[in-house]
Amino acid sequence: GAVVSQHPSWVICKSGTSVKIECRSLDFQATTMFWYRQFPKQSLMLMATSNEGSKATYEQGVEKDKFLINHASLTLSTLTVTSAHPEDSSFYICSAYDFGSGSWNEQFFGPGTRLTVL
């Protein structure tokens, strides 16, 4: 199946700093990627839909100025958490569809990035 990677796998930062998380589709092109956030022992909540070459679509309640998403190429989307605070500590996961595989309904997920803000 298609492979999605994330970098870094974990990051610790000080409050007030910005953190960038990369999501890459390794063997396919992804015009659309999704960013999720998951708090401990909870489910995944969709934050935004990242569209290559255009602005991201954010879910209700997600601050677009705090969570900057850039989908600069067909294989890379980045999520930048600006001025991070301890409440932003979470597990961030990206996903993408591989239309080239003929499977239009299966999202392939990255391994996730654990962010801890001190």
Partner 1 sequence: SQQGEEDPQALSIQEGENATMNCSYKTSINNLQWYRQNSGRGLVHLILIRSNEREKHSGRLRVTLDTSKKSSSLLITASRAADTASYFCATDTGTASKLTFGTGTRLQVTL
Closest CB 37 distance from partner 1, rounded Å: 11
DSSP 87: G
What's the Cα-to-Cα distance from 4 to each of 10, 89, 110, rounded to whole Å? 16, 22, 5
Nearer to partner 1, 78 or 95 (CB): 95
Tell me: does residue 35 bind partner 1 (CB under 8 A).
no
The pairs formed by 47-55 with CB atoms below 8 angstroms and a separation of 24 or more are 47/79, 50/77, 50/94, 52/77
Nearer to partner 1, 84 or 94 (CB): 94
> Footprint of partner 1 on this chain (CB under 8 A)?
1, 32, 34, 41-46, 49, 91, 93, 95, 97, 99, 104-112, 114
